[in-house]
Amino acid sequence: MKLQTIDPRTQHPVGDVLVESSHAQIDEAVSQSTHAFESWSITTGDERAAYLEALALGLEAHRDELVKLADLESALGLPRLNGELDRTCFQLRRFANLAKSGAPFQFTDDPAVAGGPPVGHPAIMKVRIPLGPVAVFAASNFPFAFSVLGGDTVSALAAGCTVVVKAHPAHPQLSVMTMKVIEQVQTALKRAHVITMVQGHSFEIGYQLIGHPSICAGAFTGSTKGGAALQAKAHTRVRPIPFYGELGSINPIVALHAGLNGQEKDMATTLAASIAMGCGQFCTSPGVVLLIDESEHVKSNDLFVSELTTALGAQTPHAMLTPGIRHAFDSGVDKFTQSGAKALVHEKVASFEPKPFLGQVSAKEFIAHSALHDEVFGPACLLVRCASVHEAVLALRAVGGSLTVTLWGAAEHNAKTTALVRAAAQIAGRVLFKGVPTGVAVSAGQQHGGPWPSSTAPMTTSVGDDALDRFLRPVALQDFPTWVAEHQGRPI
């Protein structure tokens, strides 16, 4: 099958026609990665840091051509894409520093205790070793930060794993150019095949990659359907492997009266901008807002809804990433209205740039219709009118799992805010008490992953320092000789 860049703004094909990776080429990429793992897995933190820092410099040296090509293939705009490239380089350097500081080589020294069990035990040192070659599935909506050199790739490299990237077909030319930058670095540092790449549209390519017997883990950012299919393949192999998928999320916001009172217009304006940001093509885009209609607060809620309707209706989102995503957006909005959502902002257009959607339902309707819990990837949001905090808690539970939940107006400690914080923490990996959920900091305390369907492994994160833990396996070394002890904090 041919690969062709489609300009999202015109829907016209541009650039060179590429060819999907063949089965033989996929096997070769994995074989090269497996061979490279033998030496990369025993590199020091300084050696890994030098490689990651060189990749950051390589991206920056080719910034202009990379960003222009990314804009051609994504329509995300030069300011956004320059910022995303900066974030990607920051992430590369952060994980370089983590490797240099010894984070991948942390160990537990458990000295021998004299006597018999259960008190007595031999000397044990628990270390962590890299899993092996990792299959990374690039995302469509972040051509740099969650793509070929995105967080999954970088954290796996810092952990001592090699990576086979499955490039996303939404930006094939950018992926090829990024791989050229990587190969320049690998040649200069004599680190051949630490990263290899395959690409193509067909599901068979992804299945072959995740099913390859030499692949030891998978990392994915994308749709729930696509992630679930790859997870099933990873878990039904002859030798099952871990699969770390960041999937769909509707990121509820609970708007308490204290969070709206007197600032209905400002909060509505902020929320409308967040819903439409990047044409709603963020994993943390707010898709549901719960309003609690206690009698004395209905007027404030109604004012907020009126302001949000006006503010969102005035938004002009840019073209979506691909025709397929655009079609899925329209289909998702149709499912909302067919499932009982009353449209407050809804204009069907044939243009490549969609119009935002805002719908409204009661909490009872929301809880009863599972279709209303699905992510609609794009500038769409549902308002859910709840009769009480208890009903809002039930609505949160109906969501099942989300990357984020945001609580506006929960500053006061009382029974209501306590119930909402507990409910939010049960379903989300990150709970916000201010602002909007769009934007995920790369930091030590970050948690980007929640219960299904937002991710396949809610105990892990795909963003932040702890992301490298996914690619390290603990091993207990018992009654170890002196030469092994001397490797504490370094690869053996």
Secondary structure of 154-201 as H, E, C letters: HHHHHHCCCEEEEECCCCHHHHHHHHHHHHHHHHHHCCCCCEEEEECC
Q: Which of 53, 246, 264, 391 is catalytic?
A: 246
Burial of 396 (C-beta count, 10 Å sphere; 0-12/13-18/19+): buried
**DSSP assignment, residue 124?**
E
**Tokens representing 265?**
């217009």
Do the beta carbons of residue 148 and residue 73 sit within 8 Å?
no
Residue 301 — φ and ψ, nearest 5°?
-65, -45
- For the chain, count helices (H), then strands (E): 16, 17
Q: Is residue 161 among the annotated active site residues?
A: no
Say how far residue 71 (Cα) sits from the centre of its chain: 20
Asked if omega into 323 is within 30° of 0 (cis), the reply is no
Token pair in block for residue 218: 């998978």
Active-site option among 89, 161, 279, 283: 283
Determine whether 246 is an active site residue. yes
Contacting residues for 386 by C-beta, under 8 A, at least 6 apart: 290, 291, 292, 293, 363, 392, 395
Tokens of 172: 């094939």
Residues serving a catalytic function are: 246, 283
